[in-house]
Amino acid sequence: MNNEEIRKIVADVLPEQRYKHTLGVAETAIELGARFAPTLCEASLERASLVHDYKKPFGRVELTELLQQYEPNEDFSSYGGVLLHGPVAAYLLKEDFGIEDEEIFHAVYYHTTGRAKMSLFEKIIFLADFIEPGRHFPGVHEVRKLAEKDLDLAVLESLRSTIHHLSAKHVLIHPLTLSAYNDQVRTAK
Ligand code: DGI
Ligand code: FE
Ligand code: FE
Ligand code: FE
């Protein structure tokens, strides 16, 4: 499937606001790619962006069942339902869109938690998801400023801010989120 065909399917599946967010992520990922990783394929960044949230509207029970088919011992669900839509989408990319690219698989799988040793491609999707123009949550301004100059500092600040807000609510933090943060502390200068 080409990106235009993928876009049409995603437009049908997602509520209007989520679809707008998806287009914002695509636009932002292409901008970040041009700024920090001119060798990355723009069409691949667009593809990953278009599909990253396409399982977001599905319920927790359905997503948990789907993920268990691929990871029988998965422990995402025990950290909160919001963590499921990325991994499930990643596993269904081949079946639903004919996408077999490993770079896109990882970017979609880890787009909510991040992970240690994210590739440049993964960092760009992760950050674009945080700062696309439709985002208005606390802390987004600071991350947008950093993203004008320094990809790793911007990723670090987005993780710090997420962990700050989750911990203030006494919400469980997935180990992948914590190791993504630790890794960025080590690499970002
Ligand atoms: O799907 P989006 O809204 O575009 O964004 P996303 O997939 O990055 O999800 C953001 C939500 O995920 C936000 O409410 C914070 C939450 N989140 C991120 N890391 C963790 C987390 N929630 C828990 N419980 N644990 C985490 O480690
Ligand atoms: Fe998401
Ligand atoms: Fe995110
Ligand atoms: Fe998103």
126 vs 25: CA distance, rounded Å: 9
Question: Does 14 have pLDDT greater than 90?
Answer: yes
With vertex at residue 186, the alpha carbon angle to CA 130 and CA 168, rounded to the nearest 5 degrees, is 50
Q: What is the mean pLDDT of residues 178-186?
A: 98
The pLDDT assigned to 87 comes to 98
The one-letter code for the residue type at 47 is R
Banded pLDDT at 169 (limits 50, 70, 90): very high
* Cβ 129 under 6 angstroms from ligand 1: yes
Q: Does the beta carbon of 19 lie inside 6 Å of ligand 1?
A: no
- Which of 60, 162, 171, 182 to probe ligand 1 with, by most ligand atoms within 8 A of CB? 162
Domain ranges of the chain: 3-137
How far is 46 from 121, CA to CA, in rounded Å?
A: 11
- pLDDT of 74 reads 86
Whole-angstrom distance, CA of residue 29 vs CA of residue 158: 15
Residue nearest to atom 10 of ligand 1 (CA): 112
The Cβ of residue 71 has, within 10 Å, a number of other Cβ atoms equal to 12
The rounded percent of the chain whose pLDDT value lies above 90 is 96
Task: Give the mean pLDDT of 117-133.
Answer: 98
Q: Is the pLDDT of residue 29 over 90?
A: yes
Mean pLDDT of the chain: 97
Q: Please report the pLDDT score of residue 42 as a whole number.
A: 97
Residue 189, pLDDT score: 81
Does residue 114 sit in helix, strand or coil? coil
Which among 75, 96, 178 has a CA at the least distance from the CA of 67?
Answer: 75
The CATH superfamily holding the domain 3-137 is: Hypothetical protein af1432 (1.10.3210.10)
Q: What is the mean pLDDT of residues 6-18?
A: 98
Ligand 2 center from residue 104 Cα (angstroms): 14
